[in-house]
Every structure is written in structure tokens, then in C-alpha cells.
Amino acid sequence: MKALLVNGSPNQKGNTYVALRAAADALEAEGVEAEIYQIPAGPVRGCAACGVCKTNGGNRCAFDGDAVNAILDKMEGADALIIGSPVYYASPNGQLLSVLDRVFFAGAAGAAFAGKPGAAVCAARRGGATATLDALQKYFPISGMPIVPATYWPMVHGGAPGEAIRDEEGVQAAQMVGKTTAWLLKCIEAGRAAGIAYPEAPGGKKVWTNFIRA
Ligand SMILES: Cc1cc2nc3c(=O)[nH]c(=O)nc-3n(C[C@H](O)[C@H](O)[C@H](O)COP(=O)(O)O)c2cc1C
């Protein structure tokens, strides 16, 4: 079993990393492989709403060369996803949101996400953490991903990179995200062995209802 952890902070070893590292260490202690993927520096475009990802077999964004298709590729081999972001103006990092819009829009056409646990952690100096987690957690249920619980909303507090290691409660919540992700993965594996599969949409096909009538 493997979990992919995505660091959406430009600080590779900053406070978001503190939370992700705590979750990764807890996963590994439970026997789950954990890979922390750093979103590379450099420009990231937003979703162009071109729809090419709906026609090319899924799991591939038309715009190659940044983190998006790398994450989609990694999710093919991962059983869970943990996203980490710094809090910027009481929201996730804009670069990360651009990546995630494209990852989940392209990924929706395939099976890279459904039935796989999802979690978000964030790092703030002072405020805006729950709003940030709200935004990040929106990606999971719409993609068929159960949201992982913790002992508290998984946020760590710190200003200077690495300072969050002193936020003991925040670090414990991030560790708990790792433990509960491992627990959910084991429950899902046991369920699969017992013949319990992730369900299909009622009727076997996703329904689209746009509220416009001719
Ligand atoms: C553009 C920008 C906006 C920020 N906005 C907030 C904010 O709204 N609330 C807050 O508590 N901290 C804010 N911060 C501080 C960071 O969230 C904080 O330093 C965090 O620990 C950074 O995580 P990192 O070390 O992983 O990059 C902001 C930082 C930057 C660069």
C-alpha cells in the first residue's frame, strides 16, 4: 500500500513539510509506503476548460510539463492522497489550486481517485487554516474519495520555515492523519478481500443535470 503526499508550498522544508513529514512517518510506521512529492517551482497555468482531458482517455491534462500529469501518473500507483498547503490570504496557495483543479478535472474521467482516502493538512502563521482545509477537502468527495479523520483539523502553526515542529497539537493531528489513512487503507483492503468493491453510480453512468432548458 502506498500514499502520495503533495507539498504545495514553495518552501521545500517549511511548515507544510513538517505536517506532511509527520503524516508520512506515521504511515510508514503502519507499514504504508509514503512518497512526498514537491510541486516544482515555476509557472503553473490554470485549467483552460478545453475539455481535452474528457476525450483523451482520462488521467491526462492537455498541458504537459508541470506537476499535473506527474501527480496523475503517481496516483495510478497510489492508494491514498494527502495534500499539504501553506495558508495564503486564508486560502490554499494559488499555484497549488491551479494544479489541483487540473489534476481532479482530468482525473475524474479515470479511476485514479475513486475509493482512495484523501486528506488535507495546512500550515499557517496565525489565521485562515479552517478555510484553507475547507477548500482543499472539496476535491475529495466529488472524486469518490473518503475524507480521513484526525484528532483535530489538521493544521500546524508557525511563521519561519520549520517553526511548526513546536506546535505539538498540530503535529499530533498530522500524525493522526497518517495513522487514520493507514487504518482506512487496511479497512478497504479487508473489504476488497471480502468482496466489497467501491460502488458504481446508480444506473451505471454519471448523470449530468445542467439547470438550463431549451
Ligand atoms: C502570500 C502569503 C500569504 C500568507 N497569508 C497568510 C494568512 O492568511 N494567514 C496566516 O496565518 N499566514 C499566512 N501566511 C504565512 C504562511 O502561511 C506561514 O508562514 C506558513 O507557515 C508557511 O508554510 P511553509 O513554511 O510550508 O511555506 C502567508 C504567507 C504568504 C507568503
| Domain containing residue 123: CATH number | 3.40.50.360
Q: What percent of the chain has pLDDT over 90?
A: 89
Lining ligand 1 with CB less than 6 A are 9, 11, 14-16, 86-90, 123-128, 158-159, 161
The alpha carbon of residue 17 and the mean position of all alpha carbons in its chain are separated, in whole angstroms, by 14
> Is there a domain that residue 213 lies in?
no
Q: Once rounded to an integer, what is the mean pLDDT over residues 168-177?
A: 98
Q: Once rounded to an integer, what is the mean pLDDT over residues 165-178?
A: 98
What's the pTM? 0.97
Rounded distance, CA 121 to CA 10, Å? 15
Q: Once rounded to an integer, what is the mean pLDDT over residues 33-54?
A: 95
For a ligand 1 pocket test, name from 88, 93, 122 the mutation site with the most ligand atoms within 8 angstroms of its C-beta.
88
Which pLDDT tens digit goes with each residue over 114-134? 999 999 999 999 999 999 999
> Is there a domain that residue 44 lies in?
yes
- What's the number of CA atoms in the CB half-sphere (13 Å) around residue 97? 14
User: Could you tell me the three cell numbers for 212?
Assistant: 438550463
Nearest protein CA to atom 5 of ligand 1, as residue: 88
> Is there a domain that residue 180 lies in?
yes
Rounded distance, CA 17 to CA 5, Å? 10
What does pLDDT average to over the chain? 95
Structural domain harbouring 178 = 2-204
pLDDT confidence of residue 109: 65
For a ligand 1 pocket test, name from 18, 21, 85, 87 the mutation site with the most ligand atoms within 8 angstroms of its C-beta.
87
> Is there a domain that residue 20 lies in?
yes
Q: Once rounded to an integer, what is the mean pLDDT over residues 78-90?
A: 98
> Is there a domain that residue 211 lies in?
no
> Is there a domain that residue 214 lies in?
no
Which ligand 1 atom is nearest residue 16's CA? 26
Rounded distance, CA 134 to CA 112, Å? 22
User: Could you tell me the three cell numbers for 166?
Assistant: 513546536
Q: Which of 92-101, 111-120, 151-160 has the lowest mean pLDDT?
A: 111-120
> Is there a domain that residue 95 lies in?
yes
Nearest protein CA to atom 6 of ligand 1, as residue: 88
pLDDT confidence of residue 214: 66
Nearest protein CA to atom 3 of ligand 1, as residue: 88
> Is there a domain that residue 107 lies in?
yes
Q: Is the pLDDT of residue 213 over 80?
A: no
pLDDT confidence of residue 166: 98
Q: Once rounded to an integer, what is the mean pLDDT over residues 46-68?
A: 91
Rounded distance, CA 175 to CA 26, Å? 5
Report how many domains make up the chain: 1
